Every structure is written in structure tokens, then in C-alpha cells.
Amino acid sequence: MVVSLMVPLDEDAWRKILDRVGETGADGVELNFGCPHGMAERGMGSAVGQVPEYVGQITQWVKKHSDLPCIVKLTPNITDIRQPALAAKQGGADAVSMINTINSITSVNLDAMCPEPMIDGLGTHGGYCGPAVKPIAMNMVAEVARWEKTAGIPISAIGGISTWRDAAEFMALGAGNAQVCTAAMTYGFRIVKEMCSGMSQWMDEKGYTKTSDFIGMATPRVTDWQHLNLDYVTKAEIDQDLCISCGRCFAACEDTSHQAIAMSEDRTFTVKDDECVACNLCVNVCPVEGCITMRRLEPGETDLRTGMTIPAEDDKRTWLEHPNNPMGDPLTCISRGQ
């Protein structure tokens, strides 16, 4: 049993609540520095989590007045989540959990002209959660897991986790475990058993005997954009046997992307390699799984869009060396003859 706490920024108040928690026999405490509404207006929740100095100070108080393991729950409503994570680590936190909910207004009543839900004719922001926040949460988990100043601190993942695969993805990015709230609210606690069963089956298929076998395996493969290999070129391909001629790929590419898909009079859709930039938009909008795939150009092939020849496997250029970078090294471009 881990007790979640939100207490004002006062050491004595924290000491008193920790004494009471200690009497319950609880196994640990989670400091909620993430709640974005109600508590923040009273100097708690995200009002603390948005100030790394407060995060570090309160964490020190908790470790001073309690022997219980201390998890610091972080807010996503901040520019750089690594800073409060670092403050928690420096304050002595045993782990961090992330993310809490995101400030949001989900709808507006156009008759009353008021945000919903309405309370006596007024509305306010709330905390957004569920599957839609999962990509945001995964990025923040990865940022903390891979930053050298915070790497190594245990992470409990939160944010849109609804299936065993969701949990496994967070764990692959460096989280030691996963928390579930919205899915439990929607489906009941039985969803957790289903997730455990699914993950167990997947681990058996992969040959993993314990979760530590795959925790953090994807972390080293998370990098910054400028370090990607820009000589890795792919082109979209449409399987005519699978295509149902719905035209979604054409509409998306023609109206919002690179006009790289042609449509014939009989609604046959083909990719124009001299225009395709491998944005993957067509793959994402296609309703038929496997119909549109991305083919990698092999070394020696020519990219019809740029006229450049794909180099050998061991000759890669990132943005730092690429000729499209106005600040790149011109000697690198000249030596490649491109």
C-alpha cells in the first residue's frame, strides 16, 4: 500500500502527516506534485511540481521525517520534466512517477457559452488523462530515463496505460513498473489481471523470465533528431492486391502533404518516387493493414527526389554533416561529391 500525499509547503505539516501515515503500516508514500486543479490553487499539486526547488525541498523533508520509500509524482505541465526529476533525485527520492494529468478544457457548451462541466454557470480547466496522453507520457519517461543526470532513478509509468502492450512499451523505455487509473475506471480492476496475463504470455514468447530482462532495452535507441541517419531513405509502396481504392492515401497526400501519390482514371493509386519524402502519412491513414509499406532504398540506389546516391552502410550522415544543413561541414559534403 502506497499512500498518496498532497500537503502545503510547510515542513511541520509534512512531519505530522508522515507520522500518521507511519502508524498505518503503509509500505511507502507518493508525493503528488502533479494534480493540476483544485490543489494547485492551494499551493499543492502541480504548483509544487512546477518549481524544482520546491520538489527538492519537500523531498528532503519527507526523507528526514520518514523511513518509508518515497516516490515523487511529477507534473507534465512544465517545459522540461527532467528538471523536477533531477530535483527529486537530489532530494533523496527513491523513485519518480510520471505523468500526472494535463491541463485541459475538453468541451464548450455552445448554448450556455461555458466550458463543461458547468458549475453554477462557470467552468474551469481539468486534468486530461487516458489513451490520448500516452505518447506524451512515453516521451517524458524516455527523457528522464536517458538523461545522464537522472538516469538510474526508478520510474513508475503513468499515462494512458490500457493494455499489457502499453505497459511493456513504457517499461522498454525505462520504467520499472506501470500504474493504471483510467482503464480501471472504465473496465474495473479485472483489466489489471488481463494485462498481467497478456504480458506474461508475451514474455514467454520472447524468452524473458523476468521484467528486468527487457526494462530499459529501448532507452539507448532514443536519440535527438540531429543524430538520425539522414541517408536512410525510404519510399512508400502500395500493394495493389490489397488496395481497396478508397483514396484516403491520395486525399491525405494531395491536400496536406507532398502530392506524391497519383490516381488514374480507374482509381489505381501509385507512389511518385520523385516526390515521396517518406513522411508515412499514407501508411497511417490507410484502413488496410499492410497495404502501404515503406521500402528502404539500398546502397547504390538513387533517390529520385534528391538525385543523391544512397551511400554504403558504414557511410552515414546526420544533420550535423548533411549538405542540407547550412551550418554543416562543407568539406564533408565535398568529399562525398554531393
- Please say if 333 is a catalytic residue: no
Question: Of these residues, 35, 243, 276, 291, which one is catalytic?
Answer: 35
User: Residue 164: pLDDT above 60?
Assistant: yes
Query: Helix (H, G, I), strand (E, B), or coil: what is residue 128?
Result: strand
Number of domains within the chain: 2
Mean pLDDT of the chain: 93
- 50-54, 123-127, 259-263, 333-337: range with lowest mean pLDDT: 333-337
Q: How far apart are the first and last CA of the chain?
A: 62
Which of 187, 202, 221 is where one domain is finished?
221
Q: What pLDDT does residue 198 have?
A: 98
Q: How confident is the model at residue 108 (pLDDT cuts 50, 70, 90)?
A: very high
Same domain, 312 and 175: no
User: Residue 323: pLDDT above 90?
Assistant: no
Mean pLDDT to the nearest integer, 251-258: 97
Rounded Cα distance, 153 and 139, in Å: 16
What is the full DSSP assignment across 60-124?
A: HHHHHH--S-EEEEPPSSSS-THHHHHHHHHTT-SEEEE---EEE--EEETTTTEEES-BTTB--
Rounded Cα distance, 307 and 338, in Å: 9
From its phi and psi, is residue 235 left (phi > 0), alpha (psi between -120 and 50) or beta?
beta
| 332 alpha-carbon distance from chain centroid | 35
CATH number of the domain to which 207 belongs: 3.20.20.70
Q: How confident is the model at residue 187 (pLDDT cuts 50, 70, 90)?
A: very high
Whether the Cβ atoms of residue 74 and residue 46 lie closer than 8 Å to each other: no
SS3 for 224-239, per residue?
CHHHCCCCCCEEEEEC
213-181-50 Cα angle (round to 5): 90
For the entire predicted model, the pTM comes to 0.90
What's phi and psi for 251, nearest 5 deg?
-60, -45
Rounded Cα distance, 131 and 47, in Å: 25
Mean pLDDT to the nearest integer, 147-172: 98
pLDDT tens for residues 14-51? 999 999 999 999 999 999 998 877 677 777 778 888 99
Same domain, 206 and 232: no
Same domain, 256 and 202: no
Q: What pLDDT does residue 320 have?
A: 83
Same domain, 215 and 314: no
Q: Give residue 317's domain range.
A: 225-336
Please give the helix or strand (H or E) that residue 293 lies within, else none.
Answer: strand 292-296
Same domain, 246 and 182: no
Which of 221, 237, 266 is where one domain is finished?
221
**C-alpha distance from residue 122 to each of 80, 114, 222 (Å):** 32, 6, 43
Which of 185, 206, 221 is where one domain is finished?
221
pLDDT tens for residues 221-231? 999 998 999 89
User: Residue 336: pLDDT above 60?
Assistant: no
pLDDT tens for residues 273-320? 999 999 999 999 999 999 999 999 999 999 999 998 998 888 888 888
Same domain, 189 and 229: no
C-alpha cell at 322: 548533411
CATH number of the domain to which 271 belongs: 3.30.70.20
Same domain, 164 and 249: no
Same domain, 63 and 152: yes
Same domain, 166 and 105: yes
Whether the Cβ atoms of residue 33 and residue 23 lie closer than 8 Å to each other: no
Rounded Cα distance, 278 and 232, in Å: 10
- 26-40, 123-137, 231-245: range with lowest mean pLDDT: 26-40
H-state helical runs in the chain:
11-24, 46-49, 52-65, 82-90, 134-146, 164-172, 182-187, 190-206, 248-256, 281-285, 330-336
Same domain, 261 and 147: no
Mean pLDDT to the nearest integer, 260-284: 97
Q: How confident is the model at residue 337 (pLDDT cuts 50, 70, 90)?
A: very low
Q: How, if at all, do strands 114-116 and 107-109 pair?
A: antiparallel
Same domain, 270 and 290: yes
Whether the Cβ atoms of residue 158 and residue 128 lie closer than 8 Å to each other: no
User: Residue 335: pLDDT above 70?
Assistant: no
Same domain, 252 and 180: no
